[in-house]
Amino acid sequence: MKKGLIVAGVIVVIAVLVVLNLRREGSKVEVDVTGVKRRAINKLVTASGWIQAKRQVDVSASAIGKVTRVAVREGDRVKRGDFLLQIDPTDYQVAVDQLNASIRSARAEVEMQQANVRKAEYDYDRAKALHDRKVVSDEELRNAELALQAAQARGKSAQEILVQHRATLNKAAHDLAEVRITAGISGVITSLNVEEGENAIMGTLNNPGTVLLTIADLSEIETEVEVDETEVVFVRVGQQAAVMLDAYPNRTFAGVVTEVGNSAIRSQIGLGQSSVDFKVVISVQDSIPNVRPGLSASADIGVAEEKDALSIPIQCLTVRQRSELEGIDVGGQEDNADTLSQAGPADEKKDVEGVFVVENGVVSYRPIVVGIAGSDYFHVTHGLSEGEMVVSGPFKAINELKHGDPVKVSQQPTS
């Protein structure tokens, strides 16, 4: 009888232990883990913008008139000096012809005044000779001298009028030449804004003239992107970049930063809110097939690199308030000198960055310090050692775990 009771008691104890063990196993949170390891990390600044030619020329009207001929179409390739379009030259040709006639008249006037000077010189020399022989009076000599001076002055005036007419003719000839518009650079006609029969308007000080067409030299291409104010401080001239175009989704093109803007670009993004960006220009070093200015583009600029960085996947990093971590050693956190348990009341709600380290089926919260961030990994500068296992997922588990929770690893550690 006693033996039976002992056996029954043992069975009950075993059953209780099994139930407790099952409950304990069921209460464990399933997590994914990854090993802390060394790898190369590149910090990238990503920004979007558009493609443009490094050199392009807007051809504006330098004369007023009707466009009588257009010799190119959008997309045509032209060479420097090629004929592009013609503005009606009639009025300008009339002005040139009139000025040529005025110059001929002015030249005849100069010749006549030169003859008058020669006659006045002869009269003066004769009067002086007669005066020396006491044949004419002092007054007559003086009159001859004054006549000579007047003739010389009229001669100079006629000469200046001729110079003035020539200058005006040069201006009129220049205006006449401007109605025949040729290419200032070699390139591609990227926009054509005028047709035959339309009027071209010359620009003034406050109003730009009609932009007739645009020529872009597509042999050198740039990407102009707008970088957020929080990231532009890392961008420097000479840094390498990878340029992606929406038109070529599966390709990247090598580039290098050639310009970092100093003036902010402010954009309104909401009621009372604005974004602050800065222009960054990237010279594209690879050839882009069938490139067109204005194509949408994005760029990844490499601003920092660690070739042998102790690292963790980005999703491993989480935050907890100091009040949740009483007694946990801060470790390498640079902004804390001792332990989290010694933080004052004002610091209790401050967030502490860290990860959950798995050891013997239990997680412990480990505050860490991170350096640069790559696209997938953080560089860990303090708080972890190579080979330690940290929780990498799922997100819900990382968000809800507490220091000391038991866990169950759901898969083999990932690299």
**Which residue, 399, 359, 357, 376, is CA-closest to 368?**
357
Each residue's pLDDT tens digit, 229-269: 989 999 999 999 999 999 998 899 999 999 999 998 887 76
Q: From residue 407, how far is each of 29, 314, 402 by CA, in Å?
A: 5, 21, 11
Please state, in angstroms and rounded to a whole number, the distance separating the CA atoms of residues 50 and 395.
Answer: 36
pLDDT per residue over 146-166, tens digit each?
999 999 999 999 999 999 999
CA separation for the pair 89, 81 (Å, rounded):
19
Q: What b/e sequence results for 169-179 when a residue is b if at least 16 CB atoms lie within 10 Å of its CB, and e otherwise?
A: beebbebbebb
Which residue in the block uniquely carries the two structure tokens 């169950």?
A: 408
Q: pTM higher than 0.85 for the full model?
A: no
**18 compared with 127, residue with greater pLDDT:** 127
Region at 136 (left for phi over 0; alpha for psi -120 to 50; beta for the rest):
beta
Neighbours of 95 (CB within 10 A): 17
- Report residue 8's pLDDT band, with 50, 70 and 90 as the boundaries: low
